[in-house]
Amino acid sequence: MRSMKIVLRMKCSHCGHWNRVPASKIFIEQNTSDSKVKAYIRVYEPLEVVKCKKCGKVIAEPKELIRIVKR
């Protein structure tokens, strides 16, 4: 497992304000049906508890992994 430190921009689900979250980018290996093929999922682990600067609600905690999915 490799990790890289980055800064994520996350939108608060309560007020819609954009916040910056320091995080580590981690690649987790996913099981596949073919043993020769390896698939990795990119997830982010926050480095600290981050509260929204506008409303004060907690938006990220170090125990939770964040996965970004395109819609």
Q: Domain extents for the chain?
A: 3-60
> Structure tokens of 10?
């996350």
Nearest CA among 12, 22, 20, 64 for reference residue 43: 64
Predicted local distance difference test score (pLDDT) of residue 18: 96
DSSP characters over 1-18: --EEEEEEEEE-TTT--E
Q: What's the chain's average pLDDT?
A: 90
**Phi, psi dihedrals of residue 70, rounded to the nearest 5°:** -80, 145
Q: What is the pTM assigned to this prediction?
A: 0.76
Q: Is the pLDDT of residue 67 over 70?
A: yes
**What is the mean pLDDT of the segment spanning 25-51?**
90
Rounded (5°) CA angle 62-16-41 = 45
